[in-house]
A and B are shown apart, each in its own frame.
Chain A
Amino acid sequence: MRFLLVGQPNCGKSTLFNQIAGYKAIESNFPGTTVSYTESKFILNNEVISIIDLPGTYTILPHDYAEKVTRNYIFENNFDIIINVVDASTLSRGLELTLELLEMEKPMILVLNMIDSAEAKGISIDDKLLSEILSIPVVKTIGNRGIGVESALEMAYKTAGKKIANSIRFRKDVESSIAEIMKCIKEFIFNKRFTAIKLLEKDDYIAKKVTLCEDTGRVLSDIRKRIEESHGIDSEMIVSYERHGLAMDIFERVAKFSKPKRNFTKVADDVLMHPVWGYFFLTIIVIVFFNIVFKLGQPVEGWLTAIFDNLSHYLEHYFPASQFIGSIIAGTINGLSAGIGIALPYIFPFIVGLSFLEDVGYLPRIAFLVDAFMHKIGLHGKSIIPLITGYGCNVPAILSTRNMNNESDKFKTAFLATFIPCSARTIVIMGLVGYYLGGNMALLIYVLNIIVIAIMGKILTRIDEEPSPGLVIEIPSYHLPTIKSLSQKTWFRLKDFVYVAFPIIIVSSVILSIIDYFKLTNWINRLLSPITTFILGLPQKVGVTLIFGIFRKELTLIMLNQALGTDKIATVMTKTQILVFTLFIVFYVPCVSTIAALKMELGTKKTIVISLTTIAVALIIAFSARIIGNFVF
């Protein structure tokens, strides 16, 4: 049997899913990077049941990527029942989706989740009356405490496969218009009335899937004209307005209101969204966040890389690096060491922290606070999340641009995210500029980086004139996240990263070993000397480190020591050269893992454009630093 969890964003659906997944799960099938729904299997009444958590959606007429995933799943897969989850504290809006789902006349139950928050808001709901009105079972739950979850599952099990008759109707003239359209439908989806409603709503996806008689176009345009004359709204919107009206009526019938309790969210937001204090706390939170990530990451990196170092020393006895097989093995271990020992210690706490801020409900508030600034560079508040993520690692940053509302926003955000100095680049900045030129100079690089990103944003907005649709985002109440949902979120994101980045890190490390084995270093250095010596004024020997840096940015630091034959860089490079080199590393070409992520999200053409642009930007900045450096140092 297959259960579908469908609900609006922030309705607590995933928390509920985690309760179920953790509760009797026998196997969990986690998503790769192409799908973003999650499936879990559990046993109920001696039967294996798979439950699918679909991304939150306001309607099944989607506006963004996540909503499309949900819509496509519903229409392209078989299922036995829909479990429609509604946040009881925003029931009137949630019911609009419920009414839309009911039109499909598929087996369904309604789960009134977060009953406790509704009660805190002074709303109590008569679930029996609601069930009578909708003619489907209604179950009350408190997802994060697991209350009611079991009875919801039992109810879903009992109701599965039972077709429902939707008796809810719109106003007479709208219904007669729908009836007229129904006469034109030869082949339908789910049922004729549902199909007719979707045609009236101008749902192109459904329109392509059904067969209609010849004069449908004429019938529809007559109806549209009539509706627009009598109702004064766009005919495509009439059904939404009907559902909205019905939802309000039903809500008023089933809800009783009392005095709300003191509202923690409001009190907290008076500070956290305050025009002055809001930014103060945002700064503090960001500083604390990155400090924790790097303070936790550093010692773990030390321990893990030591383990891999020992392993490679041990193996070198049996497979010396002077043999081809030995160099391949060494490359593989270096790759594993980089992935597990260097990347993971920073990315893991970063992802945990980000998931925490997301579950608490702080991320949309950041979007609210920074929207005005993001507008100045042609983006809007939602883009801040991928950009912040970029400081941890560009790969999850690029993957998260999937949630942007349109292609143009997605492209711009992904483009700018590749410029963000990730943890690997931070290692290089700290190890070179921070160490040899001082912390202030390192900080200056970060400031310069933000300025460059702002300028690039401006330029991109000039080129791509499509105006950004702007910010519309729900600000949910604060919630204390559950360990289960935090760990699952972390696991999904980590897995995405591991799938995309690990194979590339390992393969590229092997390639680097081969370069070393065949002594191609000199040849590469000579090949790159027009860039390294002529434009940037760096020692010819650093050429090969730039190639290594494409594979893994933090390698440039280690390889620089090796290439120059000393770990006292200052003895062989001037201050200007160190600065020029670091700046070039920070800006040029995203690493191969990021390129793979870009290709996945944006396609080959855009990835090439982005990569070439970053090289140009890096050359301009590093060259300018060379000129300026000669005056300053």
Chain B
Amino acid sequence: MLKTLSEAEIGKEYRVIELRGGLNFQRRITAMGLYMGAIVKIVRKAPFRGPLLVDINSSVVAVGRNIALKIFVEEV
């Protein structure tokens, strides 16, 4: 089932299915390894709707919630 990265649960692995944003958004996000098809794992979430900490290919990236809302994932 497709959901946004911000709804993803800690500890589970997801595949990035869609990046819903313009070219700048896609360039910024893929530079960090968040390509469509990439497998990501949510490591932790900051409280008060803060950023998510995401593990991608052994590097760790903090993703703000507004950005996470534009990243669609499915559980693997």
A205-213, A234-242, A427-435, A453-461 - interface stretch: A234-242
Give the Cβ gap from A310 to chain B, nearest Cβ, in Å: 52
Asked if A237 and B23 sit within 8 Å, CB to CB, the answer is yes
Residues of chain B lying within 8 A (CB to CB) of residue A472: 28-29, 32, 61-64, 67
A140 to B34, CA, bound (A): 27
Residues of chain B lying within 8 A (CB to CB) of residue A375: 49, 64, 66
Asked if A371 and B27 sit within 8 Å, CB to CB, the answer is no
Instruction: Say yes or no for A63: interface residue by CB 8 A criterion.
Output: yes
Contact pick for B64, options A58, A278, A380, CB 8 Å: A380
Instruction: Say yes or no for A121: interface residue by CB 8 A criterion.
Output: yes
Residues of chain B lying within 8 A (CB to CB) of residue A373: 48
Asked if B61 and A474 sit within 8 Å, CB to CB, the answer is yes
Instruction: Say yes or no for A475: interface residue by CB 8 A criterion.
Output: yes
The size class of the interface chain B forms with chain A is 20 to 34
Give the Cβ gap from A375 to chain B, nearest Cβ, in Å: 8
Residues of chain B lying within 8 A (CB to CB) of residue A471: 51, 62-64, 67
Asked if A469 and B26 sit within 8 Å, CB to CB, the answer is no
Contact pick for A470, options B26, B27, B66, CB 8 Å: B66
Asked if B25 and A469 sit within 8 Å, CB to CB, the answer is yes
Instruction: Say yes or no for A68: interface residue by CB 8 A criterion.
Output: no
Contact pick for A369, options B50, B57, B61, CB 8 Å: B50
| Total chain A interface residues with beta-carbon distance under 8 A | 42
Instruction: Say yes or no for A202: interface residue by CB 8 A criterion.
Output: yes
Asked if B30 and A381 sit within 8 Å, CB to CB, the answer is no
Residues of chain B lying within 8 A (CB to CB) of residue A364: 62
Give the Cβ gap from A518 to chain B, nearest Cβ, in Å: 56
Minimum CB distance partner of B59 in chain A: A90
Residues of chain B lying within 8 A (CB to CB) of residue A92: 33, 57-58
Contact pick for A371, options B28, B30, B50, B57, CB 8 Å: B50
Residues of chain B lying within 8 A (CB to CB) of residue A473: 61-62
Contact pick for A368, options B53, B57, B58, B59, CB 8 Å: B53
Asked if B61 and A275 sit within 8 Å, CB to CB, the answer is no
Interface residues of B in 23-72 (CB under 8 A from A): 23-33, 35-36, 44-51, 53, 56-67
Minimum CB distance partner of A477 in chain B: B60
Asked if A58 and B32 sit within 8 Å, CB to CB, the answer is yes
Asked if B44 and A381 sit within 8 Å, CB to CB, the answer is no
Minimum CB distance partner of B22 in chain A: A234
Asked if A475 and B62 sit within 8 Å, CB to CB, the answer is yes
Asked if B64 and A371 sit within 8 Å, CB to CB, the answer is yes
Contact pick for B50, options A121, A202, A240, A368, CB 8 Å: A368
Asked if A372 and B57 sit within 8 Å, CB to CB, the answer is no
A240-B30 contact in complex given A368-B53, A472-B63, C-beta closer than 8 Å: yes
Give the Cβ gap from B34 to chain A, nearest Cβ, in Å: 8
Contact with B along A473-498 (1 / 0, CB 8 A): 11110000000000000000000000
Give the Cβ gap from A204 to chain B, nearest Cβ, in Å: 11
Residues of chain A lying within 8 A (CB to CB) of residue B44: 269, 273, 275
Give the Cβ gap from B33 to chain A, nearest Cβ, in Å: 5
A388 to B29, CA, bound (A): 27
Asked if A237 and B62 sit within 8 Å, CB to CB, the answer is no
Asked if B35 and A244 sit within 8 Å, CB to CB, the answer is yes
A58 to B26, CA, bound (A): 13
Instruction: Say yes or no for A599: interface residue by CB 8 A criterion.
Output: no
Asked if A372 and B50 sit within 8 Å, CB to CB, the answer is yes
Contact with B along A357-399 (1 / 0, CB 8 A): 0000000100111011101000011000000000000000000
Give the Cβ gap from B50 to chain A, nearest Cβ, in Å: 4
Instruction: Say yes or no for A233: interface residue by CB 8 A criterion.
Output: yes
A504 to B50, CA, bound (A): 41
Residues of chain A lying within 8 A (CB to CB) of residue B24: 63, 469
Instruction: Say yes or no for A607: interface residue by CB 8 A criterion.
Output: no
Contact pick for B53, options A59, A63, A241, A475, CB 8 Å: A475
Residues of chain A lying within 8 A (CB to CB) of residue B53: 273, 368, 475
Residues of chain A lying within 8 A (CB to CB) of residue B57: 90, 92-93
Instruction: Say yes or no for A61: interface residue by CB 8 A criterion.
Output: yes
Instruction: Say yes or no for A123: interface residue by CB 8 A criterion.
Output: yes
Contact pick for A474, options B23, B32, B51, B66, CB 8 Å: B32
Interface residues of A in 332-372 (CB under 8 A from B): 364, 367-369, 371-372
Give the Cβ gap from B8 to chain A, nearest Cβ, in Å: 16
Residues of chain A lying within 8 A (CB to CB) of residue B29: 472
Give the Cβ gap from B27 to chain A, nearest Cβ, in Å: 6
Asked if B50 and A234 sit within 8 Å, CB to CB, the answer is no
Instruction: Say yes or no for A89: interface residue by CB 8 A criterion.
Output: yes
A372-B49 contact in complex given A63-B28, A92-B57, A469-B28, C-beta closer than 8 Å: yes
Give the Cβ gap from A246 to chain B, nearest Cβ, in Å: 12
Minimum CB distance partner of A93 in chain B: B33
Minimum CB distance partner of B35 in chain A: A244
A236-B61 contact in complex given A63-B28, A275-B47, A470-B66, C-beta closer than 8 Å: no
Asked if A474 and B59 sit within 8 Å, CB to CB, the answer is yes
Asked if B31 and A121 sit within 8 Å, CB to CB, the answer is no
**Most chain B CB inside 10 Å of its own CB: which residue of A121, A233, A475, A476:** A475
Asked if A93 and B64 sit within 8 Å, CB to CB, the answer is no
A475-B46 contact in complex given A63-B24, A469-B25, C-beta closer than 8 Å: no
Contact pick for B27, options A240, A278, A476, CB 8 Å: A240
Minimum CB distance partner of A90 in chain B: B59
Residues of chain B lying within 8 A (CB to CB) of residue A89: 58
Minimum CB distance partner of A64 in chain B: B28
Residues of chain B lying within 8 A (CB to CB) of residue A368: 46, 50-51, 53, 62
Residues of chain B lying within 8 A (CB to CB) of residue A381: 51, 62, 64
Minimum CB distance partner of B23 in chain A: A236
Give the Cβ gap from A267 to chain B, nearest Cβ, in Å: 13
A475-B61 contact in complex given A233-B36, A234-B26, A244-B30, C-beta closer than 8 Å: yes
A-B contact pairs, 27 of them (CB 8 A): A58-B31, A90-B57, A92-B33, A92-B58, A93-B56, A233-B36, A236-B23, A237-B23, A275-B45, A275-B46, A364-B62, A368-B62, A369-B46, A371-B50, A371-B64, A372-B47, A373-B48, A375-B66, A381-B62, A405-B28, A469-B25, A470-B66, A471-B51, A471-B63, A472-B29, A474-B59, A474-B62
Listed in ascending order, the chain B residues whose CB lies under 8 Å from chain A are 23-33, 35-36, 44-51, 53, 56-67
| Known interface pairs A240-B30, A470-B64; 10 further A-B residue pairs with C-beta atoms within 8 A, sorted by A's residue number | A90-B58, A93-B56, A93-B57, A241-B35, A273-B44, A368-B53, A467-B66, A472-B29, A475-B60, A475-B62
Nearest 5 A/B pairs, CB to CB? A372-B50, A471-B64, A58-B31, A470-B64, A372-B48
